[in-house]
């Protein structure tokens, strides 16, 4: 019923995808998708350099969209709408994708859907598994965000918890840097952790036991740094012990949130860190303890991609019966919390 072109450029992945709302399997719902990673461009700096990212998006995006259309054997005219990430993220990159989306919408007369990148992550589990019903408890864990949200429907997000300092992906990336594992850090820490003993290094579990389900990872990261400098443990044991401590925190916090949320149909995990197999295993056990199933998209849909942006467009298309379309003068937003009503958390910075 709807064929939507998705565009993603909010961090260091340039991505385009065509999503078909009627596909009966994941590989027919995603008609075509391409993800151009900028890892190599940022690796020498040990992290994402916003200016390099924006320039790379500007170079790569248009040819990438042309390739995706060619892969699908479709023309732009076959699309029902153009969905582009409008925030939150690195503003230069977001502008590249949003302006491209606007230009394509204007040239073709198709509606523009300005998508919140976090909503893309939040709804991606329903792209992978359309039987997933609202409401669900969502653990959203990426490089920039670490939140627990009650997802009541499209556009209905109640934030139950957020991080008061680092995001979980950020903690993995910083640990990788401390251990000299390079960039991007999360997958490298996970690989090395498989060879280490998760009980070898005593590390703190910040906020575990507190009644509110918020997160904190700064103290854990500093403890990894001190343990590394002390030189008594090997890198694999440090990686494994860090990963175990981080997972223990996430499981304890999610357990509290399950108690605070209303009745939910499932426990859902999304965002880049949801690609971590050890985290998924621990969450599956927690979900089972609560009589729930764990829904986790395949890893390629956990890290940044455009299929989730196209899918968020599909969800909005269905909710509004195709009468969609955002104004073409809509600005890109560097910050754009999913729950705009959520109160700031004591001790937290200004992260959305
Ligand atoms: O969602 P994402 O691709 O980008 C953001 O919107 O932030 O998430 C990227 C984050 C990075 O911090 C990366 O290190 C982390 O997800 N990540 C992982 C794994 N794969 C990606 N962290 C732990 N284990 C992994 N396997
Ligand atoms: Zn993301």
The domains of the chain are located at 3-123+301-336, 134-298
pLDDT above 60 (res 204): yes
- The pLDDT of residue 345 is 82
Residue of 97, 167, 183, 186 best suited for mutating to test ligand 1, as the one with most atoms within 8 Å of CB? 186
- The pLDDT of residue 61 is 98
- The pLDDT of residue 101 is 98
pLDDT above 80 (res 350): no
Give the domain 134-298 fold: Nucleotidyltransferase; domain 5 (3.30.420)
What is the pairing mode between strands 112-116 and 136-141?
unpaired
- The pLDDT of residue 351 is 47
pLDDT tens-digit map of 231-283: 999 999 999 999 999 999 999 999 999 999 999 999 999 999 999 999 999 99
20 forms beta bridges with 3
Mean pLDDT of 9-35: 96
d(CA 243, CA 288): 21
Q: Assign 3-state DSSP to the chain and report helix, strand, coil percentages, each to 5.
A: 45, 20, 35
> How is the beta sheet containing 136-141 ordered, strand by strand?
156-161, 146-153, 136-141, 267-270, 294-295
**Mean pLDDT over all residues of the chain?**
95
Q: Which comes out higher in pLDDT, residue 51 or 46?
A: 51
pLDDT above 70 (res 124): yes
- The pLDDT of residue 343 is 85
Q: Which ligand is nearest to the CA of 145?
A: 1
User: What SS3 string covers 126-168?
Assistant: HHHCCCCCCCEEEEEECCCCEEEEEEEECCEEEEEECECCCCH
pTM of the model: 0.95
Longest CA–CA separation in the chain, Å: 64
d(CA 257, CA 106): 43
Ligand 1 contact, 310 CB (< 6 A): no
Ligand 1 contact, 64 CB (< 6 A): no
d(CA 57, CA 277): 30
Cα–Cα distance list, 63 to 17, 33, 80, 130, 209 (Å): 13, 13, 20, 31, 50
- The pLDDT of residue 349 is 54
- The pLDDT of residue 182 is 85
CA 55, 301, 165, 137 torsion-angle sign:
positive
pLDDT tens-digit map of 136-146: 999 999 999 99
* Ligand 1: centre distance to CA 15 (Å): 16
pLDDT above 90 (res 325): yes
- The pLDDT of residue 16 is 98
- The pLDDT of residue 352 is 45
Say if CB 309 and CB 84 are below 8 A apart. Answer: yes
- The pLDDT of residue 348 is 62
What stretch of H or E contains 167? none
Ligand 1 contact, 276 CB (< 6 A): yes
d(CA 104, CA 140): 30
Percentage, residues of the chain above pLDDT 90 = 93
d(CA 336, CA 352): 6
Query: ∠ at Cα 341 (336, 344), nearest 5°?
Result: 80
Ligand 1 contact, 47 CB (< 6 A): no
Task: Check for a shared fold between 3-123+301-336 and 134-298.
Answer: yes
Q: Which CATH architecture has domain 3-123+301-336?
A: 2-Layer Sandwich (3.30)
d(CA 200, CA 2): 52
* Token pair recorded at residue 268: 């859902």
- The pLDDT of residue 1 is 82
Mean pLDDT of 49-76: 97
Ligand 1 contact, 93 CB (< 6 A): no
* Ligand 1: centre distance to CA 303 (Å): 6
User: What residues flank ion ligand 2 with Cβ within 5 A?
Assistant: 142, 304
Dihedral angle, C-alpha 47, 50, 51, 56, nearest 10 °: 80
């Amino acid at each position: 019923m709807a064929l939507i072109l998705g565009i993603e450029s909010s961090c260091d992945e340039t991505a385009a995808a065509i999503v078909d709302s009627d596909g009966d399997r994941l590989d027919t719902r995603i008609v075509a998708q391409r993800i151009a990673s900028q890892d190599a461009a940022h690796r020498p700096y040990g992290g994402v350099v916003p200016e390099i990212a924006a320039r790379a998006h500007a170079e790569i995006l248009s040819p990438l969209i042309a390739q995706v259309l060619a892969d699908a054997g479709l023309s732009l005219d076959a699309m029902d709408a153009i969905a582009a990430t409008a925030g939150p993220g690195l503003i230069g990159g977001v502008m590249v994708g949003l302006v491209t989306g606007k230009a394509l919408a204007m040239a073709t007369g198709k509606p523009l859907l300005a998508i919140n990148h976090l909503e893309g992550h939040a709804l991606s589990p329903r792209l992978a598994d359309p039987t997933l019903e609202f409401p669900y408890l969502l653990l959203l864990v990426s490089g920039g965000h670490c939140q627990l949200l009650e997802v009541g429907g499209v556009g209905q997000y109640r934030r139950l918890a957020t991080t008061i300092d680092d995001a979980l992906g950020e903690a993995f990336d910083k640990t990788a840097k401390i251990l000299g594992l390079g960039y991007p850090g999360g997958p490298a820490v996970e690989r090395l952790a498989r060879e280490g003993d998760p009980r070898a290094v005593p590390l703190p579990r910040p906020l575990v036991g507190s009644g509110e389900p918020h997160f904190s990872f700064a103290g854990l990261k500093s403890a990894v740094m001190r343990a590394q400098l002390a030189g008594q443990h090997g890198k694999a044991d440090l990686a494994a012990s860090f990963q175990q401590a981080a997972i223990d925190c996430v499981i304890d916090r999610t357990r509290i949130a399950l108690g605070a949320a209303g009745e939910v149909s499932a426990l859902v995990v999304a965002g880049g860190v949801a690609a971590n197999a050890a985290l998924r295993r621990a969450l599956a056990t927690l979900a089972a303890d609560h009589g729930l199933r764990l829904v986790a998209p395949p890893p390629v849909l956990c890290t940044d991609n455009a299929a989730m942006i196209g899918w968020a467009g599909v969800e909005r298309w269905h909710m509004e019966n195709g009468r969609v379309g955002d104004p073409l003068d809509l600005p890109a937003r560097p910050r754009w919390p999913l729950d705009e009503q959520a109160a700031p958390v004591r001790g937290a910075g200004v992260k959305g």
